[in-house]
Structures are given as C-alpha cells and as structure tokens.
Amino acid sequence: MKISRRSFLCGPTLAAVASRFPVTASLGSDSRARPNVIVVMADDLGWKDVGYHGSQVISPNIDRLAREGVELDNFHSYPTCSPTRSALLTGRPPTRFGIRGPLQYRGDRGLPRGTPTVASHFQGAGYDTAICGKWHLGMRREFGPNNYGFRYSYGYTGPWIDSYTHLTTDFEGTKDGIRQWHRNGELLEEEGHVTDLLTDEAIRFITGKRDKSRPFFLYLPYSAPHSPCQEEGKWLEPYGGSIENVSRRYVAAAITHMDDSIGKLGEAIRREGIEEETIVVFLSDNGGPSGGDNTRWLVPPRRYYMSYGATDVLSDNLPLRGWKGQLYEGGIRVPALIHWPGHLKPRKFEAPMLVCDLWPTLAAATGTAMTGREAVEGRDLWRVVTGEARPEDRGMYWADARNQAVRQGNWKLIHFGPNLEEGRFELYDLADDPYETKERSNDQRKILDGLKVELARQMSLDFL
C-alpha cells in the first residue's frame, strides 16, 4: 500500500508504520536501583556562549557541570530546532520523518504518531517521565508530548515564546499572538518569566510530583537564549561594562538567567539526596544565530517582543565557521556535557558524537536494554564516554530543505542544492581544519567520490 505524505505524518497508518520498528526497554528486576536522567537543552546557544569555552558570558553552573563531568567537545546537533528535538527523541535523523526545519504554528505536521521515543523507552523500563519546556514537534494536541511517552508535560509547544505573555506568533497566517502555554495539553494562563516557570515546575516534579518509588526521566528544554530575549535588570547589570551591543547583552543575560536556574535545579537534586543517582545531560539544539537579517522571522505583533530595537548581534560561535541554519560546524557543533558524580571521572571527550546517540548511550548507562535497534540509528557510546573503549570512525548525516552534509571519520562533505544533480560540493578535513577554511574537493577526488556515494545512500532513506 502506498502511503501518502499527509497520511504518513498525520494519519492512523502511523501506528502500523512505527510498529515495524519496535524499540522497547527491559524492566528488569528492580527499576528503583537505576539512575535518574535529566536532559537539559538550551535553545540557540552558540559555541562560545558558555564560560568554559572562553566566553564573556557568565555561566558558573554550566561551567561546573562541564568541569566535574565529561565535556562532550565534539558533539553535533542539527542546524535548527525541530530537527534536533526529533533526533534526540527518536535516535534517528529527522529527515527520516520528513522533518527538515522548524515546524510552525499552522502546519498540520508533527512527529509521526506511534513513533518510539527515548521517553517511551524509559517509561517502558519503569521510569516516571516528564517534559518541562519547549516541545516544537507539532502544535496540534494530537502531536503533544503526552502521546510520545511523557506521563507529565508542561510548557509550550513552540516554535518560540514571549517570556511574559507566553504567546507565540501565527507566523504563516494572521501574525496574531497564539496561546500555547499548557499542562498536559490543556492551555492555561500563568504569570511569570518563562525561564523561572519552567525551572520551578521541573523542581516541583523532582521534589513532589514524581513517583518516588521509581527512577525518573526529565526533559527540560529551555527557551533561552532564543529570541525574543526579555530579561530583568538584575540579569543585564553584570554586562553593563563588558558587552556594548544591546541585543548581545540581552542574549548574555538570558544565558546567565538560565544558568542560575540550572544551579537551582542542582540544589534541588542535592536536597533530595539523589545527586549521585542522577545523570544530567546538557546540550544546545543548534548553533547560535547571527542576528540581523537572520531574525526577520520576528514578525508582528512586535509589542509582544523585544523593545530594545534590532537584534543585530546575537550569538557567538567562534572559532567555528557558520551560524544556526547552516551545515558548517558553527551551525551544528554545540556545547554539551554529561555529569554523573561518583560514576564519571572528569574528562574532555573529543570523539565525534551526534544527538541521535543520546538515546542508546543513556539506555546503556542506565542498564535499560533495547531491542529493535534497526529503528535507532544512533550509536551506544557509553563505554567510549567512560573511557573503557576506544572510539571508532563513524558516519553522520544532516539535511534540511535546501542542503545536505555527510561526515565519515574526519572528512565532511557539504552539498549546497536541493538534490545531488544540481548545486555545489565543499569538502573539509576536520582533523586538519576544524574551522573549515580550506576546501579540499579538487585535491581529494577519491574521498569526494566516496562521500558522494554515502550521501546519496543516506538521502535515499529519507521520507521526502
């Protein structure tokens, strides 16, 4: 039976399609002995937007997690929001589900119903599961997080949010403000800054709302520092003498606000006496945006957004090349770490890692067995992260609506064009040239041809 694009993304055939790729977790004899997992995701955090990468941004709590844990120095996401969130949840490239960019308000698309996720994996292993934050994998209720393995959900559905009204914009339609703040799919009105509300709810889950007879999986995707950055004076004051550009100052303030919240989360974990029983993962969903013309999507109603003028300077991805939305390293290589005191020795992990790897890696770390691995294309890198095994060369694949890229070992090929019959190729040796300054396709024809074959193979597996 031929499945149409619409029915694949929206219809009842999804359960049948997803059932071809079962991924389940083994409950085991005592799930209570397993560690908790918290995945914290920043939104649009650039490579040099954290203190431990030499930034002027103040982020002591994130820096401490990196210093005490395993710094994932070569971690890659996808170039925009929805694709990375899809890859995190499914362990598969987002283009396998037709997700090639941010899903907007009026779209009738979302993550296909019935798709196994890291949340459903942990739920099947006896974990309590929750999300507090940004979803951005479909704004219609049938695409909400409670349908994908999360017992409890709170926050907003995406794609961006006003920090105080909690509205988004009907980007493709009337340009009106749209309600999206919810608890378990039910819209609600609350007062407060989005960063504080998400943090407070996450702490309430850890300290009271969860089932304490079981371990928990908590996904905490913040809105910071995604535009619009609306911050109180106390978060701006530390930058009055160090960051001259106003919009960059607000981005820094949003990061410091989020960092302070991560510190409060850590305090709650310590008060509960579960710090050594809790794995914390931190990452960004993509590289940082440049500002200027690249923020034209901040459409009316302007009154809901920033009052300080043009967003001419936002993130800092140096020394990497490129920005959010691009397949250069600045768009896809992001700050990331894993923290588990008493279990992981502090170190810098320099082997390439992709966001798709988090599910199988966390499954191995928690001892929750996976079956049906044909559905999950990410790799279990837990023994490599801990230093027990040596890293092996591995492939990576990215694509959006216009361009594609593939990496094998240290060689990375980017194709600019909607299909391989048109456009241009750029080839880089990331071992010798991590900042992508020397294009090598003319003097490395054999490597170029081999990566073209791999790119074509990957593209053939996508849902178009």
The 10s digit of each residue's pLDDT in 200-245 is 999 999 999 999 999 999 999 999 999 888 999 999 999 999 999 9
Say whether both 345 and 277 belong to one domain. yes
Crossing angle for the helix pair 246-271 and 60-68, to the nearest 10 degrees: 60
Residue-wise pLDDT tens digits, 96-111: 999 999 987 666 788 9
Residue 77 counted as domain residue: yes
Confidence of residue 307 (pLDDT cuts 50, 70, 90): low
Residue 16 confidence (pLDDT) above 60: no
Residue at a domain's end among 352, 385, 418: 385
Residue 3 confidence (pLDDT) above 50: no
DSSP string, 392-417: ---EEEEE-SSEEEEEETTEEEEEES
Say whether both 329 and 444 belong to one domain. no
Confidence of residue 8 (pLDDT cuts 50, 70, 90): very low
Residue at a domain's end among 356, 385, 414: 385
pLDDT of residue 172: 65
Q: Which residue has the higher pLDDT, 200 or 374?
A: 200
Q: Domain limits at 436?
A: 402-460
pLDDT of residue 24: 39
Q: What's the chain's average pLDDT?
A: 89
Confidence of residue 141 (pLDDT cuts 50, 70, 90): confident
pTM exceeds 0.95 for this model = no
Structure tokens at 306: 């920033």
Sign for the CA dihedral angle at 72, 76, 81, 85 comes to negative
CATH, residue 342: 3.40.720.10
Say whether both 381 and 406 belong to one domain. no
Distance between CA atoms of residues 402 and 463, nearest Å: 15
Residue 393 counted as domain residue: no
Residue-wise pLDDT tens digits, 331-361: 999 999 999 999 999 999 999 999 999 999 9
Say whether both 164 and 238 belong to one domain. yes
Q: Is 434 exposed, middle or buried (0-12, 13-18, 19+ CB in 10 A)?
A: middle
Residue 293 confidence (pLDDT) above 90: no
Say whether both 107 and 195 belong to one domain. yes
Distance between CA atoms of residues 156 and 423, nearest Å: 38
Say whether both 191 and 222 belong to one domain. yes
Residue 423 counted as domain residue: yes
Residue 5 counted as domain residue: no
Q: What is the mean pLDDT of residues 74-102?
A: 96
Residue-wise pLDDT tens digits, 273-290: 999 999 999 999 999 999
Say whether both 440 and 378 belong to one domain. no
pLDDT of residue 160: 86
Residue 42's alpha-carbon distances to 47, 242, 411, in angstroms, are 12, 23, 28
Residue 417 counted as domain residue: yes
pLDDT of residue 106: 62
pLDDT of residue 370: 86
Say whether both 377 and 410 belong to one domain. no
Q: What is the mean pLDDT of residues 175-201?
A: 93
pLDDT of residue 175: 67
The residue type of 45 is: L
Q: Which residue has the higher pLDDT, 18 or 320?
A: 320
Say whether both 200 and 241 belong to one domain. yes
**Percentage of the chain modeled with pLDDT above 70:** 87
Say whether both 368 and 253 belong to one domain. yes
Residue 119 counted as domain residue: yes
SS3 state at 337: strand
- Residue 405 pairs in a beta bridge with 398, 414
**Percentage of the chain modeled with pLDDT above 90:** 76
Residue 374 confidence (pLDDT) above 80: no
SS3 state at 71: strand
pLDDT of residue 173: 64
Residue 288 counted as domain residue: yes
pLDDT of residue 177: 78
Distance between CA atoms of residues 356 and 350, nearest Å: 17
Residue 25 counted as domain residue: no
Q: What is the mean pLDDT of residues 55-59?
A: 97
CATH, residue 448: 3.30.1120.10
Q: What is the mean pLDDT of residues 139-150?
A: 92
Residue 26 confidence (pLDDT) above 50: no
Say whether both 241 and 300 belong to one domain. yes
Block residue for tokens 């210093």: 67
* E runs forming strands in 237-364: 278-284, 336-339, 347-349, 353-354
Instruction: Say how many domains are in the chain.
Output: 2
Residue at a domain's end among 334, 360, 385: 385
Say whether both 160 and 215 belong to one domain. yes
Residue 400 confidence (pLDDT) above 80: yes
